[in-house]
Amino acid sequence: MDMNSSFPSVPPPPWARSFRSDDLDEVRDFVARRDGEHSRVAHRGGALGFKLSWLIGTIASVGWGEVALEKTIRGALPDPVLHMTMPPGSVYRFGRRERVAGRRTATFVAPGWEFTRHSPPGRSFVLCLDRAKLSEEIAARSPGRRGNLVLRSRAIELTELAGARLVGAAGDFVQAMRPGSAALAVQRSEACLLAAVAKLLLDESAVARAHAVSSARVADLEAWIEAHLDGPITMGRLCDVAGVGERALQKVFESRRGISPMRFVTERRLAAARRRLTSAGAGNDVTSVAVSLGFGHPGRFAGLYRQAFGEAPSQSLRRPAR
């Protein structure tokens, strides 16, 4: 029985691949190859004790993590991920929304949603699914919904039935990935896992209908924001660049990113601030970086920065990223 959860979990099998390290930068670089660039902060000295085990199929993968130190991670994931178990007391932050994971809490992280996770030492178990295949399964189960569907990050309190269904499907996938297994067995187990996650997301309202503003227009606006972080950005300017009204823009960002357009601007500025503060030899200081990115109040900037990255801006400045 995994002590992170009140229902049985799936242990890593001998045929899972694994990676171990006590070096925080090495761990970040290794994880970034699959999940993309992110920040990772440990909150006390000592051996990190990081271990990652995983199995990767065609449209699904599972992973087991273990770490001996309290940590804060900040980033966004390219594919939909369901954090089945995390150390109890783990805190997720999506924009201004904060969720604390309990022993029966699974957290779904939608692709592209930037989030912060603060976790005590312990073990984790996660499921990752192909974004296109999961969307197809959900769309096929929702013929009454019109327009494109978008996935939304959610904290989900698992019932006994839902937990057993997910753990059973994950266990079947792990067994199907045993060396020498038939390809058809892997395909069937992946289909069952995909179906279990799709049902959970639909039952828990983690799926919404996309609003009329196209994905391409939103992507263009986000690129414009990234290129103009140093200048003044207002809601009116965003509406002008996107070519839509304020209400439509608010709705599309809420459905696609879980935050308002202006909060998205703030979070991109925080990410830019971290890049500048951790650029060795750049000659930056905290106040100049904050001011250059439109943060007029140093105290508010420091508070937002700590919420996002788990450390003060001055700590990032003293400890350049590799």
What's the CATH number where 89 sits? Answer: 2.60.120.10
Note the pLDDT of residue 281: 57
Note the pLDDT of residue 1: 37
Ordered strands of the 60-67 beta sheet: 17-21, 50-56, 60-67, 122-129, 81-85, 105-109, 154-157
pLDDT band at 103 (very low <50, low <70, confident <90, very high): confident
Predicted confidence (pLDDT) at residue 3 exceeds the cutoff of 80: no
Predicted confidence (pLDDT) at residue 287 exceeds the cutoff of 70: yes
Give the pLDDT mean for 126-155.
Answer: 87
Residues 297, 163, single domain; the answer is no
Note the pLDDT of residue 322: 52
Residues 120, 156, single domain; the answer is yes
**Residue 5 covered by a domain:** no
Give the pLDDT mean for 107-111.
Answer: 95
Structural domain boundaries enclosing 288: 215-318
Predicted confidence (pLDDT) at residue 4 exceeds the cutoff of 70: no
Residues 158, 259, single domain; the answer is no
Task: Give the alpha-carbon dihedral of 200, 114, 217, 291, to 10 degrees.
Answer: 160
Count: domains in the chain = 2
Give the pLDDT mean for 34-48.
Answer: 91
Which of 13-22, 60-69, 199-208 has the weakest average pLDDT?
199-208
Q: In what helix (H) or strand (E) does residue 108 lie, and over which residues does it extend?
A: strand 105-109
**Residue 7 covered by a domain:** no
Give the pLDDT mean for 4-20.
Answer: 81
Q: Which among 193, 209, 225 is the end of a domain?
A: 209
Residues 140, 171, single domain; the answer is yes
Note the pLDDT of residue 213: 74
What would the two tokens of residue 235 be? Answer: 């809601």
Residue 293: partners with Cβ closer than 8 Å, 6 or more residues away: 229, 230, 269, 272, 273
Give one DSSP letter per residue of 164-200, joined into a string: HHHHHHHHHHHHHTSTT--HHHHHHHHHHHHHHHHHH
Give residue-wise pLDDT tens across range 72-101.
999 999 999 999 999 989 999 998 899 998
**Residue 35 covered by a domain:** yes
Note the pLDDT of residue 186: 96
**Residue 12 covered by a domain:** no
Full-model pTM = 0.89
